[in-house]
Structures are given as structure tokens and as C-alpha cells.
């Protein structure tokens, strides 16, 4: 039995716009997401901002009711058996919020330990162990309001693990954390999986998903556009080429024209300081450099390079096609 | 399981009480505001040459503070939990939300005990208010009974506010009316007759009676009993509201400030 | 690139006036629906007036008028303080307006722009407060008293708005401006003669009361409600106006100081 099962999850938000006369708008954030996570896996939900990752994870951790579809964690339905689910999962959200600022980190942990039913006799030991694991030993008596972003993140992780849950959900765990801290966090996440836990992680960092996850589902605009192991995803771009062209000033209309050329799979524009970098993914067996340059006749062109595609390109292609 | 709940309450109450004590806002609401109102009332009494003990005023102002801290603490706390990002964490935890919320509302009412201490000290030091208590034991009982009743009323407030983001604006509106209707500084007999039945269902009405009659002489036991009765009624109301609201909040995605 | 307009051209002044007003309006009303406006802006004053009127009766001071006038004016003015404090303290965009604040003319335009929605709001709230007194308490008002009252309300709200600007300017530096503005609210409730005649307070409290906005405005309003024509209270009104101008000037001075210092240390945004 899969530890996490999502079956055609959908979630629509309705919001209001306007000041005097308010109108209702329905936004479908998650449009039929299905996947499964097996025991002991590190599963990654990868996608750009606004793709529906956080909404999906919130449905799985029982904080949001799906508009349609079902999900089960450890066999318990997230809607009907939410209490059973909550007892067995830990979840960690990114960001600065979610802690009682005016009180010390230690008090926060003690409170949540109590909420999650950690037996009183074990609380002290468990808290000490977790502080050690996340590297906050010695800072726990300070008020949270003085913690840095990275420290808060680590405190969140400690909090999420207090009751030794079997399944851990991490929503963008390394966002806003400095590179060294992020590396340590990833190591911690790896350790969790090694100790037998199942982890579902959302991220928009391609390399993070690639490095950590056993399986990845790429989500864009509320739908899963690809799923598989990191190798599977890399194979999708094994064939194909990438041409990078540096231009100084390019119109959107021109980019659109380039996209429509036969043999072009995707065009992505990256802003550099004075120029833009056009990253054009093409089929393997075509030679399009001249055609592309032809369309760019009006603009100033700098360096041109051709290279093999990377997983990053695969990801970009997937999410921009959506 | 049954053994867990009292401990959960105790830990939660202490935790939130500590957090509230560290808040400058609650310093304002539970200490400074009652002192200002007590001072205004003292001067008005002097100007009007009102006969009667100033202890009456001190206790009334103290209870005004207790109501304010409960109102803003309980109504406002839900919104505050949202902003802080902790509301999701509380709801996402295993215990039914009412078991995590109730210690919080009880803590907001308990903060109000600072108000009573503050107004008594202030009155004693600056206005020569005689601080003699008629029935000390009953006085000591009436204080937690009042805090309990107010805390549970706070639960009812919180359960109404938990869904709506603009709830804190309404909480501002309930300060003066409840002070008026509960007879905290002004006897209810001075108000139109139809007000009195409303006052009977409000915890502060019985709280101030209990506290005043044990301090100044009277029959506080009935008032203490009413505090406990109301506590039970509020608990039932809060219980039912909470279950409904939690489900609605998950449905309408209003648990976090997005 | 558009050319930079002259700081004193009518167009710039108009823009500063309206932009300033728009920010102020939004700060007051952005989070609000009409239902909520009614309940917070009008519901609260209703009960405050009733509370103090009844307290006055209980204390043996049989004079509803005293309390109606005092509280109606106080409530309408307080919205000014809160609104302004929030507008400025939240005002990151203010930085973009600061080059236009180079001249006294544009500063006045900005101030007036911000103060306008607050003043209109103040008139509505005080009118409502008087209506409450007329309908529910022993308060009467001659029609002839209304125009002078309007003048007094406008001046008082404006000068309290200036106090709000001062608090807001301090808020650019201090962390907890919310605490300060609430504290000011309570102190003004005590010392400005809202419910206690200023003369009956201890000397030092009376001195504070006379040095802040609201006090003279309330005194003038009370005399008008008792039948005095505007001419008779003119010195009170001028005093109130003068106090307002002084606070506004201090606010602008502080603002410029902080802004210059902030630019030097690049710190205007960082707290």
C-alpha cells in the first residue's frame, strides 16, 4: 500500500475583486493531481511558483479540503480521518512565520511537543536530540524574534519531527536559506529518509529535486506534467539540442515568432545585465541557427553557443509548455 | 487519553500566558487602559460629589480591563495566530482545535487579573481607596471563577471570529457596550429596563458582582455560581461552533493569510 | 523619460494633493467594507457617548450635553490620529514623493490632501455623535449652532491630524508606533477635557491638556452648543488651529530630518 496516495485532487479558490462592487472569481489552483509515494521514498513535487505545490501539500496534510478527488496518507483519508493523519505526519513550511516570536525556541518546542502528544517523560530528551540534529543546541533559550531565517527554518524542522512521525512533508524547505545552511538542511533531509521515514518535498529548485529525490513529479499550472525518477526526466531531453543566443533588446513578438518555427521545442528568455539570453531548445536532427539569426535581424546579437540539454532545460520546457 | 487533556490545558495556558505577558499591546489593554478609566471615573465622582466607596470604582475598572484583554485577546488572537502563521499549526495538530484554543482564551482572561491588581494598587496609592476586603476567601474564589467565565466567553468569541479576517474590527465594537450593559461602572438600574436581561447572559455582569460583593459585603455565592453556570453554557456553545468552523475554514481556505 | 515637473507648478501641487489624499483614503478604508465602516466608525462612538453620559449621571453630574459634545468631538478627531499614523508609518511610497516636498507649498498640499478624507470622515462621525445625543439623551442643539460647530470640528480634526502626522513621523523611526498612538489616545481621553473639565485636573495634567490638540476645540464646541456665536469662541478656535500648525510643522521637520538621515544611512526601509 502506498504511504501517500493522491487521486485526482482538485482545488478551486474563489476570491473577490473590486472595491465598491465585489465580483467573485474562481481560480482553479490544482486541476486533477494524482500520484503515489511508497514507503521510505523521498518524493519531490517540483514546479515554479504558483504551480499548485503548496495547495497540493496542504490538502495532503488536512489543512485544506479538496474541491474534488481524494487522498490518503498511511491508509487514512485526509478528509474523513484527518485526526489519524495528523497524528502520524509532520509538516514543515518555509518562511519566517509559524512560531511564537516573543518566547524562546525551547518554549515553542515544549508547547508543540505537548500538542503532539509526546509523553512528558520523553519530551526533554527528544527536544535535546532534535536541537542537536538541526544544530540549534545552545540557542534554544533565546527568543525566536532574534533568530535568523535559517535558524527559524531549523526550528521548524525540529518542531515537525517532535513526535517522530512516519511521514514528513516539507514545503520549500531551503527557500531563503543561505547556501551553506541549505546544504546542511538537505543533508538532514537525506538522513531522515535513511532512517526509514517517507518524505514528500516541494521545491522550485531543479538541482535540489535532482540531488535529493527518488522520484519527482513536475507540476505546472495545477497539473502534473511529468513524473519519474531523475534519470527518467533526463532521458526526456537526451535527444534534442540547445542553442543559446545573446541579444541586446528583443521584442516579445519576435520571441513568439521563434517559438513557432518548425523544430523549435521551447524558447526561454533569461535576463542578463545588459542583454538577454535566448535559450532555444530544438529537435536533434535540425540545424536552425541560421533560421533563428534570420529572425533576429533587427537586433544586436552577441555570443552564440550550442550545447547539450540539461535537466534544467527539461524542466523549463515542461513548465512552459503547460 | 483522558489524562492527557488536563496536562495539555495546563501547558497551553502557561505558554500563552507567558506570551501575552511579553506583549506591549496587552500591557496597554490590561494595565494602562483600566488605570486611565479608573482615573477618569475617580475625577468624575469627585466632581459630582458622588457618595460611595471608591473601591467600587477600582474593581469595576479592573473588570473593564479584564473584558478588554479577553475581547482583544480572544477575538484578536485568532487573527494574530493567522498573521503569525501559527493558526495552521494549531489546527493541523492532533487535538481537537477546542483543546488548543481554550487554554489560549483562558490565558487572555487571566491576563485581566493584572488589571484588577493594577487598579487596586493605583487606587490605594493615589486616591486613598480603602483596600479592605469583607470576605477574603470568597474574593479569592471569585477571581478565578470570573476568569474562567470570561475565558469561556472568549472561546465563544473566538469561535465566531475564526473564520473571518475582518473580525478584529468588530471586536473593537464590543468593548463599550459590554462595559455598559454589564454594569461594571454604572449600575444596570440606570439603563433602560430591557437591558437587564441581556446583562444576565454576559460573564462580566456576574464576575463584577461576585468580586464586588465579596469585597464590599453582600451575597457573592450566587454570582460565583452564575459564573460557573455560564461557563458551562459557553463551553457547550463553543464546542459546537468550533467543530463547524474548523471544517468551514478548511473548505474556504481562510486558515492562513494568503 | 518624462521631464521632471517644477515642484511648485499647479500640476505638481494637484498631484501631490490627490496622491497624498489617495494614500490616506486607502489607509483608512482599504480593509473596510461599507458594513464595517458603519460598525466601527459609527458604532463605537455611539456606545462611548452613552457610556460616559450614563457614567456622568451616576456620578451625579446631570449634564448630558457636556459628555455628548466632548465625546462626539473626541471620537471624530481620534480617527484622524489613527488614520494619519497608519498612513505615514506604512508609507514606503512616501520616498517617491519626497523630492516633491522640497517647497513649503507642496508640503501644505500634501498635508491637506491627506487630511481631507480624515476631515470629511470626522464631520460624518461627529454629526452622528450629535444625532445620538439628540435622539437618545438629554441633548439639544439650535440649528444656528451647526455652522460654527462645523468650523470647530474641521479645525479640531485637522489639528489632531497634525498630531497623527507627528506620531507617524516618529513611527518612521520607532518600532512600536501602534503602542504610542494608543497611549496618546488614552491620555487625551483623560486630559483634554473630554469627560472631566480641564480646570479640575491637577495642574500638571491641565498643562499637558492645554498643550495638545482637541482641548480647545472641545471647549469651543461646548460654548457653541450652549448658544455662543462663533465670534465669542474665536480665540479658542485660533489657539486650536495654532496648536495644529505647530504640530504639523514639527512633523514635517522631523520627517525631513529622518528622511535625510535615512538617505545617508539607507535605513528608511529597514525597520
What's the pLDDT score for residue B256? Answer: 65
| 8 A C-beta contact, residue B37 and residue B110 | no
List CB contacts (< 8 A) between A63 and chain B.
88, 91-92, 250, 255
Neighbours of chain B (3+ CB pairs under 8 A): A, C
Q: Based on the fold, state whether residues A94 and A154 are members of the same structural domain.
A: yes
The span from the first CA to the last CA of chain C, in angstroms, equals 32
What's the pLDDT score for residue C156? Answer: 92
Which residues fall within 8 angstroms of residue C244, CB to CB, at 6 or more apart? C155, C158, C159, C160, C161, C162, C163, C213
Place of cell 538537505: A186
**A192-202: pLDDT as tens digits:** 899 999 999 99
| Res. C230: pLDDT tops 90 | no
More confident residue, C93 or A130: A130
What's the pLDDT score for residue A249? Answer: 80
Q: Based on the fold, state whether residues A269 and A203 are members of the same structural domain.
A: no
Confidence band of C247 (pLDDT split at 50, 70, 90): very high
Domain end call among A202, A235, A268: A235
Task: Compute the distance between CA of residue C130 and CA of residue B144 in angstroms, rounded to an integer.
Answer: 41
Place of cell 479658542: C236
Confidence band of A216 (pLDDT split at 50, 70, 90): very high
Centre a 10 Å sphere on the Cβ of residue C203 and count the other Cβ atoms it contains: 8
The cell for B111 is: 491576563
Minimal Cα distance from A103: which residue of B?
Answer: B19
| 8 A C-beta contact, residue B199 and residue B188 | yes
Neighbours of chain C (3+ CB pairs under 8 A): B
- Minimal CA–CA distance to A163: which of A130, A193, A199, A198? A130
Q: Which residues of C touch B (CB under 8 A)?
A: 31-33, 36, 39-40, 43-44, 47-48, 50-51, 54-61, 176, 178-179, 182-183, 186-187, 189-190, 195-197, 200-201
Q: Is A147 on the interface with B (CB under 8 A)?
A: no
**A27-48: pLDDT as tens digits:** 888 999 999 999 999 999 999 8
Q: Is A99 on the interface with B (CB under 8 A)?
A: yes
Q: Based on the fold, state whether residues A218 and A285 are members of the same structural domain.
A: no
The cell for B176 is: 463599550
Inter-chain contact C179–B41, Cβ cutoff 8 Å? no
Q: Based on the fold, state whether residues A198 and A106 are members of the same structural domain.
A: yes
Burial (Cβ within 10 Å: 0-12, 13-18, ≥19) of residue C197: middle
| Res. A248: pLDDT tops 90 | no
Centre a 10 Å sphere on the Cβ of residue A240 and count the other Cβ atoms it contains: 18
Q: Strand, helix or coil at B35? A: helix
What's the pLDDT score for residue C270? Answer: 41
H or E element in which residue B7 lies? helix B4-21
Domain end call among A185, A212, A235: A235
Task: Compute the distance between CA of residue A151 and CA of residue A95 in angstroms, rounded to an integer.
Answer: 11
What's the pLDDT score for residue B133? Answer: 84
Percent of chain C scoring above 90 in pLDDT: 27
Domain end call among A189, A212, A235: A235
Task: State chain A's mean pLDDT as an integer.
Answer: 87
Q: Based on the fold, state whether residues A178 and A313 are members of the same structural domain.
A: no
Task: Look up the CATH number of the domain holding residue A279.
Answer: 3.30.70.260
Least confident of A214-223, B128-137, B201-210, C201-210: B128-137
Put the strands of the sheet holding A23-37 in their side by side order: A23-37, A4-17, A68-73, A76-77
Residues 54-93, chain B, touching A (beta carbon < 8 A): 83-86, 88-93
Task: Compute the distance between CA of residue C115 and CA of residue A205 in angstroms, rounded to an integer.
Answer: 48
What's the pLDDT score for residue C74? Answer: 92
Q: Based on the fold, state whether residues A315 and A209 are members of the same structural domain.
A: no
Its domain, for residue A305, covers 237-321
User: How many domains, chain A?
Assistant: 2
**C76-112: pLDDT as tens digits:** 888 777 767 666 655 544 454 455 455 666 667 766 7
Q: Which residues pair with A14 in a beta bridge?
A: A26
Q: Based on the fold, state whether residues A48 and A9 are members of the same structural domain.
A: yes
Minimal Cα distance from C31: which residue of B?
Answer: B166
Inter-chain contact A86–B22, Cβ cutoff 8 Å? no
Q: Based on the fold, state whether residues A134 and A59 are members of the same structural domain.
A: yes
Average pLDDT of the residues in C146-151: 90
Q: Based on the fold, state whether residues A61 and A119 are members of the same structural domain.
A: yes
Digit-by-digit pLDDT tens for chain B (258 residues) are 456 788 999 999 999 999 988 888 788 888 899 999 999 988 888 777 665 667 888 899 999 999 999 988 887 777 778 878 898 899 889 998 889 999 999 999 999 899 999 998 988 888 877 778 888 899 999 999 999 999 999 998 888 776 555 665 677 788 899 999 999 998 898 898 999 999 999 999 999 999 999 988 888 999 999 999 999 999 999 888 877 777 877 887 766 654
Centre a 10 Å sphere on the Cβ of residue C117 and count the other Cβ atoms it contains: 23
Inter-chain contact A115–B19, Cβ cutoff 8 Å? no
The cell for B179 is: 462595559
- Minimal CA–CA distance to A290: which of A73, B201, A27, A280? A280
Instruction: Please tell me the distance in Å from B199's CA to the nearest CA on chain C.
Output: 15
Separation in Å, CA A126 to CA A85, A276, B153: 21, 52, 36
| 8 A C-beta contact, residue B178 and residue C50 | no
H or E element in which residue A199 lies? strand A198-203
**A72-98: pLDDT as tens digits:** 999 999 999 999 999 999 999 877 788
Task: Compute the distance between CA of residue A120 and CA of residue A114 in angstroms, rounded to an integer.
Answer: 8
List CB contacts (< 8 A) between A83 and chain B.
94, 96
Q: Based on the fold, state whether residues A65 and A201 are members of the same structural domain.
A: yes
Q: Based on the fold, state whether residues A197 and A247 are members of the same structural domain.
A: no
DSSP label at A285? T
Minimal Cα distance from B174: which residue of C?
Answer: C44
| Chain centre distance of CA C211 | 15
Task: Compute the distance between CA of residue B54 and CA of residue A241 in angstroms, rounded to an integer.
Answer: 88
Amino acid at each position: 500500500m502506498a504511504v501517500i496516495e493522491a487521486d485526482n485532487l482538485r482545488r478551486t479558490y474563489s476570491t473577490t475583486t473590486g472595491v465598491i462592487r465585489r465580483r467573485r472569481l474562481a481560480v482553479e489552483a490544482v486541476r486533477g493531481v494524482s500520484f503515489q509515494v511508497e514507503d521510505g521514498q523521498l518524493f519531490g513535487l517540483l514546479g515554479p511558483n504558483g504551480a499548485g505545490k503548496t495547495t497540493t501539500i496542504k490538502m495532503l496534510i488536512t489543512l485544506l479540503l479538496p474541491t474534488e478527488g481524494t487522498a490518503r496518507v498511511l491508509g487514512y483519508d485526509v478528509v474523513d480521518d484527518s485526526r489519524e493523519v495528523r497524528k502520524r505526519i509532520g509538516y514543515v513550511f518555509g518562511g519566517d512565520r509559524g512560531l511564537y516570536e516573543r518566547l524562546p525556541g525551547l518554549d515553542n518546542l515544549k508547547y508543540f511537543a505537548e500538542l503532539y502528544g509526546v509523553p512528558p517523560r520523553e519530551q526533554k530528551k527528544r527536544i535535546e536530540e532534535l536541537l542537536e540534529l538541526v544544530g540549534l543546541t545552545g540557542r534554544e533559550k533565546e527568543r525566536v524574534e532574534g533568530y535568523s531565517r535559517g535558524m527559524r527554518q531549523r526550528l521548524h524542522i525540529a518542531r515537525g519531527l517532535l513526535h517522530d512521525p512516519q511521514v514528513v512533508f516539507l514545503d520549500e524547505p531551503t527557500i531563503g536559506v543561505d547556501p551553506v545552511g541549505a546544504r546542511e538542511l538537505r543533508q538532514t533531509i537525506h538522513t531522515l529518509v535513511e532512517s526509514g521515514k517517507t518524505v514528500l518535498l516541494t521545491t522550485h529548485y531543479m538541482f535540489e529535486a535532482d540531488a535529493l529525490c527518488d522520484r519527482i513529479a513536475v507540476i505546472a499550472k495545477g497539473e502534473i506534467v511529468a513524473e519519474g525518477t531523475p534519470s527518467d526526466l533526463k532521458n526526456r531531453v537526451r535527444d534534442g539540442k540547445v542553442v543559446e543566443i545573446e541579444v541586446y533588446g528583443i521584442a516579445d513578438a519576435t520571441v513568439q515568432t521563434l517559438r513557432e518555427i518548425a523544430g523549435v521545442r521551447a524558447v526561454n528568455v533569461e535576463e542578463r545585465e545588459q542583454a538577454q539570453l535566448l535559450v532555444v531548445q530544438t529537435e536533434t536532427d535540425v540545424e536552425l541557427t541560421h533560421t533563428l539569426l534570420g529572425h533576429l535581424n533587427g537586433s544586436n546579437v552577441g555570443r552564440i553557443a550550442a550545447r547539450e540539454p540539461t535537466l534544467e532545460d527539461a524542466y523549463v520546457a515542461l513548465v512552459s509548455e503547460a | 487519553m483522558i489524562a492527557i487533556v488536563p496536562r495539555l490545558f495546563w501547558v497551553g495556558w502557561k505558554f500563552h500566558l507567558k506570551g501575552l505577558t511579553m506583549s506591549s499591546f496587552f500591557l496597554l489593554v490590561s494595565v494602562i487602559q483600566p488605570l486611565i478609566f479608573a482615573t477618569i471615573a475617580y475625577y468624575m465622582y469627585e466632581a459630582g460629589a458622588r457618595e460611595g466607596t471608591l473601591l467600587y470604582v477600582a474593581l469595576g475598572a479592573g473588570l473593564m480591563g479584564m473584558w478588554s484583554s479577553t475581547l482583544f485577546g480572544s477575538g484578536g488572537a485568532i487573527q494574530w495566530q493567522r498573521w503569525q502563521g501559527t493558526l495552521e499549526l494549531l489546527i493541523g495538530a492532533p487535538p481537537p482545535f477546542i483543546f488548543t484554543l481554550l487554554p489560549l482564551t483562558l490565558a487572555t482572561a487571566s491576563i485581566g487579573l493584572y488589571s484588577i491588581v493594577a487598579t487596586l494598587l493605583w487606587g490605594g496609592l493615589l486616591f486613598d481607596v480603602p483596600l479592605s476586603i469583607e470576605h477574603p476567601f470568597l474574593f479569592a474564589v471569585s477571581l478565578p471563577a470570573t476568569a474562567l467565565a470570561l475565558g469561556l466567553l472568549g472561546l465563544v468569541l473566538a469561535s465566531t471570529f475564526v473564520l473571518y479576517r475582518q473580525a478584529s474590527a468588530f471586536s473593537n465594537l464590543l468593548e463599550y457596550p459590554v462595559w455598559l450593559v454589564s454594569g461594571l461602572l454604572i449600575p444596570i438600574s440606570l439603563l433602560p429596563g430591557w437591558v437587564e436581561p441581556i446583562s444576565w447572559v454576559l460573564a462580566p455582569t456576574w464576575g463584577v458582582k461576585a468580586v464586588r460583593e465579596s469585597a464590599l459585603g453582600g451575597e457573592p455565592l450566587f454570582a460565583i455560581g452564575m459564573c460557573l453556570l455560564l461557563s458551562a453554557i459557553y463551553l457547550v456553545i463553543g464546542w459546537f461552533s468550533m467543530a463547524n468552523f474548523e471544517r468551514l475554514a478548511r473548505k474556504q481556505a481562510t486558515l492562513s493569510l494568503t | 523619460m518624462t521631464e521632471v515637473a517644477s515642484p511648485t507648478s499647479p500640476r505638481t501641487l494637484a498631484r501631490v494633493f490627490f496622491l497624498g489624499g489617495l494614500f490616506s483614503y486607502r489607509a483608512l478604508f482599504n480593509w473596510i467594507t461599507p458594513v464595517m465602516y458603519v460598525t466601527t466608525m459609527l458604532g463605537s462612538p455611539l456606545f462611548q457617548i452613552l457610556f460616559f453620559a450614563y457614567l456622568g449621571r451616576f456620578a451625579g453630574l446631570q449634564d448630558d450635553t457636556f459628555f455628548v459634545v466632548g465625546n462626539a468631538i473626541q471620537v471624530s478627531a481620534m480617527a484622524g490620529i489613527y488614520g494619519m499614523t497608519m498612513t505615514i508609518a506604512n508609507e514606503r511610497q512616501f520616498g517617491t514623493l519626497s523630492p516633491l516636498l522640497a517647497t513649503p507649498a507642496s508640503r501644505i498640499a500634501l498635508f491637506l490632501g491627506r487630511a481631507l478624507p480624515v476631515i470629511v470622515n470626522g464631520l460624518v462621525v461627529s454629526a452622528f455623535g450629535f444625532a445620538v445625543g439628540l435622539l437618545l439623551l438629554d441633548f439639544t442643539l439650535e440649528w444656528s449652532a451647526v455652522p460654527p460647530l462645523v468650523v470647530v470640528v474641521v479645525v479640531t480634526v485637522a489639528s489632531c491630524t497634525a498630531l497623527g502626522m507627528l506620531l507617524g513621523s516618529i513611527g518612521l523611526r520607532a518600532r512600536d508606533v501602534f503602542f504610542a498612538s494608543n497611549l496618546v489616545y488614552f491620555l487625551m481621553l483623560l486630559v483634554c477635557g473630554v469627560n472631566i473639565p480641564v480646570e479640575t485636573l491637577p495642574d500638571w495634567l491641565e498643562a499637558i491638556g492645554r498643550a495638545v490638540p482637541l482641548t480647545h476645540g472641545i471647549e469651543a464646541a461646548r460654548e457653541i452648543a450652549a448658544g455662543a456665536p462663533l465670534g465669542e469662541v474665536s480665540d479658542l478656535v485660533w489657539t486650536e488651529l495654532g496648536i495644529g500648525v505647530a504640530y504639523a510643522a514639527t512633523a514635517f521637520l522631523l520627517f525631513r530630518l529622518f528622511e535625510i538621515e535615512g538617505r545617508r544611512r539607507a535605513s528608511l526601509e529597514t525597520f
